[in-house]
Amino acid sequence: MTKTPRPYKDYQDEIYLDGLRGVVPPFPMTYAGLEDRARAALPPSVVSYVAGGAGDERTQEANVTAFERWGLMPRMFVGANRRDLSVDLFGLTLPSPLFMAPIGVLGICAQDGHGDLATARAAARTGVPMIASTLSADPLEAVAAEFGETPGFFQLYTPTDRELAESLVRRAEKSGFKAIVVTMDTWVTGWRPRDLSTANFPQLRGHCLANYFSDPVFRSRLATAPEQDPQSAILTWVRLFGNPLTWDDLPWLRSLTSLPLIVKGLCHPEDVRRARDGGVDGVYCSNHGGRQANGGLPALDVLPDVVAAADGLPVLFDSGVRSGADVVKAVALGATAVGVGRPYAYGLGIGGVDGVTHVLRSLLAEADLLMAVDGYPTLADLTPDALRRVL
């Protein structure tokens, strides 16, 4: 798929022109504003699940503040009146490096309970790819049907049942997903005090399990259909969900699909090298936004070493991205594509498809304008030399 690069700054122009007619944006323009509005719009348990991190949340906070330690060096006389934010990824030409990171409770973030579908529709509107989570309120086939011309990737939480894992991957292939993203750091849930304080784990209440309940292999493991006995189906899901994968499992994962295989959660250079040598097509540098393990390094701090170890493989990145400036900095540090998570989840909660679209267009407009003002016409111009450490 090839799309003509678009001037993402046009979103700013639209807002100012609307202002001449007395129309102001219906959604907040800052991350703090999005979070505040979402707190008012969503049930406390949902807000807690999205906002919370592991432990005392220092790693989550460190992910965000890590971006503050880098500043972009302005360059002048470069004629950056036209920018090209497009990126080549797995044979696809994407209009920008931005993508939506997988979030397993999108369904219940939307007012109508179908947040995965709304997010896919926002992907279709904006050209920003969505990585659809295994934990979805609607089956992956229904989500994929909403992508339009925008490619979508499928994120796999690898179950202990290999036949079930293969079934999920086959369904993703048949539905038109363009890559499989295997998450490595969530075979068991981390210590999350916010959720523990309310004893709230959405999947144990039957939320966002549509991909399992609709899967023929999963259903064959049940004595009674989920529609008749949801509690037994949930208990079966608990038993099958988490697979603590080892390097011995990588050849099997690679054999599951001819689609690009991306492994998510790699932060150590040696892990990246072993994954590369094992035949993966891309690595995904992430610490799950600080949700899974506290006390770790900010993902941004390990990104340069991950890129070096990847040795030319595409590197996807997320964790702590809150602004268009963050996207630009992550690209400068070597990320091929940059994922956003909590901001678009909040946009979904307050405005559905329109809310997600607003968040994505805002991030892209800010990134585009930053590249314009500071003199970086293309992503290729954003190298580590474009950044300076802020003391």
Binding residues are 49, 102-104, 133, 155, 157, 183, 192, 264, 286, 288, 291, 318-322, 341-342
Give average pLDDT by consecutive 10-residue segment, the chain, 391 residues: 66 97 97 97 93 96 98 95 95 97 96 97 98 98 98 98 98 98 95 93 95 98 95 97 96 98 98 98 97 96 98 98 98 98 98 98 98 97 97 78
In the 8-state DSSP scheme, what is residue 268? Answer: S
Q: Are 95 and 364 in contact (CB under 8 A)?
A: no
Residues pairing with 285 in the sheet? 317
Architecture of domain 52-378: Alpha-Beta Barrel (3.20)
* pLDDT recorded at residue 321: 98
* pLDDT recorded at residue 391: 78
Binding residues for FMN are 102-104, 133, 155, 183, 264, 286, 318-322, 341-342
Closest listed residue to residue 268, CA positions, set 276, 258, 256, 259 = 276
Pairing of the two strands 92-94 and 87-89: antiparallel
Interatomic CA distance for residues 105 and 367, integer angstroms: 27
Closest listed residue to residue 152, CA positions, set 117, 184, 201, 183 = 117
Task: Give all strands (DSSP E) within 265-385, no chain letters.
Answer: 282-285, 315-317, 337-340
Interatomic CA distance for residues 32 and 51, integer angstroms: 12
Annotated catalytic sites, by residue? Answer: 288
For the chain, the structural domain boundaries read 52-378
Q: For helices 342-374 and 10-19, give the axis angle rounded to 10 degrees.
A: 100
* pLDDT recorded at residue 6: 62
Through-space distance between the first and last CA atoms of the chain, rounded to whole angstroms: 42
Binding residues for glyoxylate are 49, 157, 192, 288, 291
